[in-house]
């Protein structure tokens, strides 16, 4: 697998986003998936995929605690592209047991309880969505956190046993927003209200001037490099 990753890194280094998508879908037919949260980066990638007619399966994780604006963006995106995006939901029994035992907002109480909630609502549904596929395209960008600055564009995800490709790794926020606005692509209006990173509503707030890109995620936790478990970095 290391040789395969190295080969892809070598091949993609000088390719455009559309050329990378063409390479991946040709080499891994019907085995390339893209996870969208309808954030700014994901809207750019969705545009590349759909307008380029690339056979990439697009899915989203509906945690049940998303912002109203996110659901609206989801609906607008489907209407704009005349497509349907596949939703994956948490297992009902797992959610019921978690809330019954810990409370509806237990994630505020401790990091382990927050991790448990993220696992039920995101990590487990993601594993189902990725199962049987070979390549997972993401919207992660180097600018988003110190950990992500060191990421290669192509890497092996050991947890999910899949190749990850960060299509917009080196794009800057201004570049992302300029792309969306110049083409009239729907995007989450929370981005215009100080939310560079948007997750579940109870776990996300706008950031203040000068704060880190992801300071608004799990804002009550006093640690850096906070993640939900979807993207594990060495």
Q: Is 161 left (phi over 0), alpha (psi -120 to 50) or beta?
A: left
d(CA 133, CA 143): 28
Write down the pLDDT at residue 184: 98
Element (H, E) at 76: helix 68-81
Share of the chain above pLDDT 90, in %: 82
Model confidence over 108-138: pLDDT tens digits? Answer: 999 999 999 999 999 999 999 999 999 999 9
d(CA 202, CA 64): 11
Is the pLDDT assigned to residue 233 strictly greater than 50?
A: no
pTM as predicted: 0.91
Write down the pLDDT at residue 222: 77
Write down the pLDDT at residue 209: 85
pLDDT classification of 231: cutoffs 50, 70, 90? very low
Model confidence over 35-72: pLDDT tens digits? Answer: 999 999 999 999 999 999 999 999 999 999 999 999 99
d(CA 71, CA 77): 10
Write down the pLDDT at residue 58: 98
Write down the pLDDT at residue 59: 98
Residue pair 81/186 in contact by the 8 Å Cβ criterion: no
Write down the pLDDT at residue 215: 86
pLDDT classification of 212: cutoffs 50, 70, 90? confident
Residues annotated catalytic, as ranges = 228
Overall fold of domain 2-203:
Rossmann fold (3.40.50)
């Amino acid at each position: 697998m290391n040789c395969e990753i190295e080969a892809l890194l070598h091949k993609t280094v000088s390719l455009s986003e559309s050329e990378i998508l063409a390479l991946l879908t040709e080499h891994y037919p019907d085995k390339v998936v893209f996870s969208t949260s309808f954030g700014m980066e994901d809207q750019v990638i969705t545009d590349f995929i759909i307008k380029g007619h690339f056979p990439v399966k697009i899915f989203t994780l509906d945690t049940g605690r998303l912002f109203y604006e996110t659901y609206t963006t989801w609906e607008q995106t489907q209407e704009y592209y005349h497509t349907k995006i596949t939703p994956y939901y948490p297992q009902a029994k797992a959610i019921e047991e978690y809330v019954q035992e810990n409370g509806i907002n237990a994630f505020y109480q401790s990091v382990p309880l927050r991790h448990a909630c993220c696992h039920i609502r995101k990590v487990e549904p993601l594993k189902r969505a990725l199962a049987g596929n070979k390549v997972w395209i993401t919207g992660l960008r180097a600018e988003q956190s110190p950990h992500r600055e060191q990421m290669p564009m192509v890497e092996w995800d050991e947890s999910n046993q899949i190749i990850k490709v960060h299509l917009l790794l080196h794009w800057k926020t201004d570049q992302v927003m300029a792309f969306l606005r110049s083409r009239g692509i729907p995007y989450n209006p929370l981005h215009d209200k100080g939310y560079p990173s948007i997750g579940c509503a109870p776990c996300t707030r706008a950031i203040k001037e000068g704060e880190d890109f992801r300071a608004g995620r799990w804002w009550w936790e006093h640690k850096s490099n906070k993640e939900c478990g979807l993207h594990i970095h060495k």
